[in-house]
Amino acid sequence: MAYVINEPCIATKDTSCVEVCPVDCIHPAPGEPDFDEAVQLYIDPEECIDCDACVEACPVDAITPEDQVPDEWQKYIEINAAYYRKSGS
């Protein structure tokens, strides 16, 4: 099971989670081509190792385990996965 970045990240894009991820599965990171255009950050569900480091680092509590995403944010499970299908990562 992967972690999911949810609605509180929109327009915030605090990169504390990117800095602590041991497997580099949170994108776009600062300096990547689509960082400025992205409305939020995304976790690759295939690469996430469920280490919990991003959850602790997120200052806006935007990250939850996939099985604990609140009902009103369920669409973010697909939004995170779709980002990686679209980007080819």
Residue 54's CATH number? 3.30.70.20
Closest listed residue to residue 49, CA positions, set 65, 61, 67: 65
Residue 88: the pLDDT is 58
Provide the domain limits for residue 55. Answer: 3-87
**Mean pLDDT, to the nearest integer, of 2-31?**
96
User: 5-23 as b/e, with b when 16 or more CB fall inside 10 Å?
Assistant: bbebbeeebeeebbebbee
Per-residue confidence at 87, pLDDT binned at 50, 70, 90?
low
| Number of domains the chain contains | 1
pLDDT above 70: percentage of residues in the chain: 97
Task: Assess whether pLDDT exceeds 80 at residue 9.
Answer: yes
In this structure, the dihedral spanned by the alpha carbons of residues 79, 63, 7 and 45, taken in order and rounded to 10 degrees, is: 0
pTM of this prediction exceeds 0.85: yes
